[in-house]
Structure 1
Amino acid sequence: MEGLVTLILAAGLGKRMKSKHPKVVHKICGKTMIEWVVDAAKDVGNNDVIVVVGHKAEEVKEVLKDRVKYAYQETQLGTGHAVKMAQDLLPEEGNVLILTGDTPLITSQTLKALVNFHIEEGNSVTILSSVVEDPSGYGRIIRDEDGNVIKIVEDKDATEEERGIHEINSAMYVMDIPKLKKALTMITNNNAQGEYYLTDAVEIIKEMGGKIGAFTASPEEIMGVNSRVQLFEAERVMKRRINYRHMENGVTIIDPETTYIGANVEIAPDTVIFPGCVIEGKTVIGSDCEIGPNCRIVDSQIGDGCNIMYSVVLSSKLGNDIKVGPFAQIRPESVIHDKVKIGDFVEIKKSVIGEGTKVPHLTYVGDAELGKNVNMGCGSITVNYDGKQKHKTIIGDNVFVGCNVNLVSPVKIGDNAYIAAGSTITEDVPEGALAIARNRQTNKEGWVQEKIKKGGFKLNGEIY
């Protein structure tokens, strides 16, 4: 939006969070509070964003990097003082949208409406206000008999009559920059907190002849996060918004209350998400999938028509028509091609699984490449670690691996080979060969009776 700059106040200590980290870097649905606010501001059409940092500023900068400009407030002396620290970065003309870094539920739609209202009304200051049931702790919006805004009174400085007002200040504004800069030179810290209030600048601008207005938003959007309880409450709201958005886009979520979907997750229509699922990061899920119940998927790509039950998928890529689980784990850097079955109690680690391959149950595949239409028998293992470093197993197409087979890497199994059950394979197997690596079975008849005759033999719990 032309002629608009955004200033976000994010220098506070956040003592009530009881955290070693700055308040604004705590996450809501996988995204830090400050990122939610920056993204809402940029969606208004304003890429010129300034963030005032202070307490543990480097952590905030690590999150936002070079997406914004920074001003520094070394000592937290109030909101007016914070804006003073940034005034040299403000242009000489235009309007500034002032936001707080701990209000992650504010939406770009409300901010656009706020800015448009400010411009259309010809205001010098427009306050984003809200009418709440319990206004305790908030600054009150004071209006005259005609409904015009006169001033804002902080809760600790308010009279009993003023404390009965339910329209509150969200601490978000649009202000005329030249008038704001002039007012900042005139504010003092003569108040109960001994701080420089930005709200005093509003009253000064009015005394200078500026027009003051207020634009009302829902209480939900202006909710500030100052404690772990409020963090939970904000996350609950954001989770509902995200889940409802996916449902409106054609995704079935059986129980939104027990389903957690991160801010950046993409899900195609006609996929069904069962209860208890946690889907995080930059995960992309295709159409006609069934996810869950009780799955965790992080930073992964899932193709169309996949069925994943009671399983974990981390930083991996799955093709189409794949069945995973129950109780499987696909660890980072794995690539699973189309029509693969990963069964119960299977772990895949940093491996490529070819099209049509079956890894049905109780199997570990690590640092391996499996070709097409391979069958991994129950209990088969790629033995990839020698105590110092990892080695690779390569299995060709159409290979049958029997139950309880150990493939001791580095080893290569040729196409169409068979590995006999119970074998421990330490050498390459040629194409089309049958590999057997186990001792020949020997049956010693009458052995048990001989042991009983000699005494000291335990059979069915009895000592003979």
Structure 2
Amino acid sequence: MNTALVILAAGKGTRMQSDLPKVLHEVAGAPLLVHAISSGETLEPEQIVIVTGHGGALVEKAAIAHTERAQTATQTEQLGTAHAVRAAEPALAEFQGDVFILYGDTPFITADTLSRMQAARAGGADVVVLGFEAADPGNYGRLIVENGALDRIVEAKEASPEELTVTLCNSGVMCADRETLFSLLAEVRNDNAKGEYYLTDIVEIARKRDLKAAAVACSEAETLGCDSRVDLATAEGIFQAKARREALENGVTMHAPETVYFSFDTHIGRDVVIEPNVVFGPGVTVETGARIRAFSHLEGCHVGEAAIVGPYARLRPGTELGGETKVGNFVEIKNATIDRGAKVNHLTYIGDAEIGEGANIGAGTITCNYDGVNKHKTIIGKDAFVGSNSSLVAPLEIAEGGYIASGSVITKSVGEGDLAIARVEQVNKEGLGARMVAKLRAAKAKKKDA
């Protein structure tokens, strides 16, 4: 069955206390909106329509950055959820199939849940509503199911005492055939206290037409909506707990999993060891058998098999580590390729560079890649040796087996097997050190007596 997504993302989110649209606040390094789109993408939809409002240009930019297939529709006035869905109608005018309505601030709807909603549609339900069993139903709308079918959705303030005992609550997520959905929406009225058009009203309208409505249930955690910073922190905790558990179950060792933070797209291979206090930003892949040592931060990088990173290492976007490489303490690498077996062990910055197989980069080495206007590249060949405290001024090439003497400032390329020394010759002045110290001490004593 063909599917399309309508994702509601027009709300300002006043409880966030932020100038940023609510759906662009992040969980695990990605906007809430991206999580919602990713959930829906498991249905392989033909169309994805994002209904925007507050901060619409920013929301559209984030949606398209995730998938160029995203379309946007604008809800010019905030007149309720049914009104928001109707804003997507023109974009879906030619679509034939089921429309799933999701929410840009609800990041955790699973593929299994959406698949079960799809199955309920295939089983004959004209409208399918996603519900959840609430530990504390409170002010949630109740899904009233009778004889296996969804009869109505009752708002808590309008529910009878008997209806308030129901714990199956409305998540707001729905699906229906496009033609049926917009036909039902056309009959929704705003004769309520808020003067808004409520999506939930379509169930009652459907039942009056003798159409069948069904409820599918999921866990309460799946339906968590993020309306405040407190909700955002709760969502982050839920995501991290799930990601850590999955990593452990997939063969990753973590000494203190509660201190490791993953992003929404982190990929970790089997037999990887992750020590305490490691943070993975977006875009990280770590291959089998690698070890990420404590207090390291990785983002936008690829770590090859059996590589060792850290402790206290920072891998920035564009970093490619080959197998069995070593990146040690207080090393920062950016937009650089480190080939198999190369070592960058201590107190070093490598930026815009290629480091050949088996090369050794000494402590305190810096690739001077920026001239104040442009970035330049450093190429270091296979088995080259760069001595400690060297500055490599790009653009620069050190050929295979090249050797850089410690303390050198290298500004010219170095040939294969050559030794480069670029430092002032040492001069020893006999006895001058002792005389200088004596002079300084005398001056200090004189100043103290004065």
Aligned to 1:429: none
Q: Does 1:105 align with 2:74?
A: no
Q: Is the 8 A contact 2:27 2:235 kept in 1?
A: yes
CA drift at 1:288 = 1.2
Aligned to 2:425: 438
* One-letter identity of the residue aligned with 2:330: F
Give secondary structure in 2 for the equivalent of 1:350: strand
Q: Which stretch of the first structure deviates more once superposed, 372-381 or 68-77? A: 372-381
Q: Which runs of 5 or more structure 1 residues have no equivalent in the other structure? A: 385-390, 425-436
Cα deviation per residue 1:246-290 (whole Å; 9 max; x = unaligned)? Answer: 333322233322111222222222111112111222222221110
Give secondary structure in 2 for the equivalent of 1:245: helix
Aligned to 1:268: 269
TM-score by length of 1: 0.86
* One-letter identity of the residue aligned with 1:406: V
| Partner of residue 435 from structure 2, selected from 425, 448, 453 | 448
Cα deviation per residue 1:417-460 (whole Å; 9 max; x = unaligned)? Answer: 3345xx43xxxxxxxxxxxx4254332579729x96xxx54269
> How many residues are treated as equivalent by the alignment?
433
Q: Does 1:116 align with 2:119?
A: yes
For 1:463 and 1:22, how far apart are their aligned partners in 2? 67
Q: Is the 8 A contact 2:3 2:46 kept in 1?
A: no
Aligned to 1:206: 207
Task: From the superposition, tell whether residues 357 and 197 of structure 1 become closer, same or farther in structure 2 (CA, over 3 Å).
Answer: same
Aligned to 2:372: none
TM-score by length of 2: 0.88
* One-letter identity of the residue aligned with 2:404: V
Q: Is the 8 A contact 2:127 2:212 kept in 1?
A: yes
Q: Does 1:357 align with 2:356?
A: no
Task: From the superposition, tell whether residues 232 and 313 of structure 1 become closer, same or farther in structure 2 (CA, over 3 Å).
Answer: same
Aligned to 2:6: 7
Aligned to 1:243: 244
Aligned to 1:139: 141
Q: Does 1:67 align with 2:82?
A: no
Task: From the superposition, tell whether residues 403 and 199 of structure 1 become closer, same or farther in structure 2 (CA, over 3 Å).
Answer: same
* One-letter identity of the residue aligned with 1:21: L
Q: Is the 8 A contact 1:341 1:358 kept in 2?
A: yes
CA drift at 1:132 = 0.7
CA drift at 1:34 = 1.7
Q: Is the 8 A contact 2:276 2:294 kept in 1?
A: yes
Q: Does 1:95 align with 2:78?
A: no
Give secondary structure in 2 for the equivalent of 1:171: strand
Q: Which runs of 5 or more structure 2 residues have no equivalent in the other structure? A: 370-377
Q: How high is the sequence identity, in percent, across the aligned residues?
A: 30
Aligned to 1:216: 217
CA drift at 1:175 = 2.2
User: Which structure is larger by alpha-carbon Rg, 1 or 2?
Assistant: 1
Give secondary structure in 2 for the equivalent of 1:41: helix
Task: From the superposition, tell whether residues 463 and 71 of structure 1 become closer, same or farther in structure 2 (CA, over 3 Å).
Answer: same
For 1:262 and 1:334, how far apart are their aligned partners in 2? 22
Q: Which runs of 4+ in 1 moved over 6 A?
A: none
Task: From the superposition, tell whether residues 283 and 446 of structure 1 become closer, same or farther in structure 2 (CA, over 3 Å).
Answer: closer
Aligned to 2:385: 375
Task: From the superposition, tell whether residues 397 and 441 of structure 1 become closer, same or farther in structure 2 (CA, over 3 Å).
Answer: farther
CA drift at 1:171 = 0.1
Cα deviation per residue 1:296-347 (whole Å; 9 max; x = unaligned)? Answer: 111112111111112001121111211111111112x212122111122111
Q: Is the 8 A contact 1:256 1:275 kept in 2?
A: yes
Aligned to 2:339: 337
For 1:132 and 1:406, how far apart are their aligned partners in 2? 66
For 1:92 and 1:458, how far apart are their aligned partners in 2? 89
Aligned to 2:409: 406
Q: Is the 8 A contact 1:91 1:177 kept in 2?
A: no
For 1:207 and 1:445, how far apart are their aligned partners in 2? 103
Cα deviation per residue 1:100-156 (whole Å; 9 max; x = unaligned)? Answer: 111110011110011102321x22222111111112332122345x46432112244
Q: Does 1:324 align with 2:341?
A: no
Task: From the superposition, tell whether residues 202 and 90 of structure 1 become closer, same or farther in structure 2 (CA, over 3 Å).
Answer: farther
For 1:292 and 1:445, how far apart are their aligned partners in 2? 47
Task: From the superposition, tell whether residues 462 and 417 of structure 1 become closer, same or farther in structure 2 (CA, over 3 Å).
Answer: farther
